[in-house]
Amino acid sequence: MDAWYKEYALTGKKRVMGAGHRVYKTYDPRAKIFREYSRKAVEVSGDPKLKGIHEIAERLENLVMSQLCESRGICTNVDYWSGIVYYAMGIPIEQYTPIFAIARIAGWSAHLMEYVARNRILRPRLYYKGMLDLEYVPIEKRG
């Protein structure tokens, strides 16, 4: 793992999910809490697979912190450890993204309210590439 990390992540070719934050340029204080939850979840579960995942996550975090945090302000954040906690809780992996989004809706809404209050135009940088012109199906008729 160390060689892969150094070859790809440190050269800027790959991102380490859960590393970096727009606000926190030092260790995310929420990550410290989730890291402890992660450790406890692994302990309680007794699952050797989860223990191995946690050990790899700790090694990777140590590399991120030693190589990227001080030099580039890229430290692990709360999302780095939350996946292990969600896994230990038995939450299906496909639910991680909705949980991530739900936790941020209040902040996203606050930003939108600020933009509207300042009469600022939002200019998204991404383009929608999904399906268009789909027929609306009421929720009670969906399968």
Give me 49's structure tokens.
Answer: 């697979």
Using a 10 angstrom Cβ sphere, with 0-12 exposed, 13-18 middle and 19 or more buried, the burial of residue 106 is: exposed
* DSSP string over 52-78: HHHHHHHHHHHHHIIIIIHHH---B-H
Select which of 2, 28, 47, 79 is catalytic: 79
Select which of 21, 28, 54, 111 is catalytic: 21
Q: Catalytic residue at 54?
A: no
CA 143 to chain CA centroid, nearest Å: 30
Distance CA 91, CA 112 (A): 30
Q: Catalytic residue at 21?
A: yes
Catalytic positions are: 21, 79
